[in-house]
């Protein structure tokens, strides 16, 4: 797995809030404002389909987090966020019936960007990066849960890979 802006966004989202659709009507941007600590990360449905020299190889993967030391702070007027920290992702990949598990550190990250919340969608932007969207699942005074769905194609000139996954993040207010 490559660490791209999407992974950066996942980490950023580690710093982002969530709300359920039933809570949407009573939530304001103020509900997101504050500092949030990442306490859980997972992906249960990762899939990569790679075409290489006329062959198609499909891999599936799951991922869970550990060693959380990441947080995000959201401010309003202007709507900015600052995410910093790190965590470890335990990734199990299965290709052609063989599974392999590895631990991947996110390394230290330190990002500042802008955010916009419309209903249960949180949109974030980092300078010189594509805009990313997360669906807020839960957002209340103490808990923020959200998910990020990925569906992208990467081409390195030799092979082309289609990557799909849904990443879930859970944060608590500090």
Distance CA 94, CA 33 (A): 40
Reported pTM: 0.82
Distance CA 169, CA 144 (A): 8
Q: Which residue ranges of the chain lie beneath pLDDT 70? A: 1-29
- Residues 6 or more apart whose CB falls under 8 angstroms from that of 60 comprise 45, 46, 47, 48, 93, 94
- Model confidence over 115-151: pLDDT tens digits? 999 999 999 999 888 899 999 999 999 999 999 999 9
């Amino acid at each position: 797995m490559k660490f791209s802006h999407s992974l950066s966004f996942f980490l950023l989202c580690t710093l982002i809030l969530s709300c359920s659709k039933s809570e949407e009507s009573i939530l304001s941007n103020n509900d997101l404002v504050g500092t949030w600590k990442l306490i859980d990360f997972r992906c249960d449905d990762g899939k990569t389909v790679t075409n290489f020299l006329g062959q198609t190889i499909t891999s599936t993967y799951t991922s869970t987090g550990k060693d959380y030391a990441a947080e995000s702070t959201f401010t309003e007027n202007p709507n900015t966020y600052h995410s910093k920290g790190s965590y470890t992702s335990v990734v199990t990949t299965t290709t052609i019936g063989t599974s392999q598990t590895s631990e991947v550190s996110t390394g230290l990250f330190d990002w500042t960007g802008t955010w916009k919340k419309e209903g249960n969608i949180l949109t974030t932007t980092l300078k010189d990066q594509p805009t990313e969207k997360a669906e807020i699942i839960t957002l209340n005074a103490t808990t923020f849960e959200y998910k990020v769905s990925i569906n992208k194609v990467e081409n390195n000139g030799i092979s082309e890979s289609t990557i799909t996954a849904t990443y879930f993040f859970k944060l608590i207010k500090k």
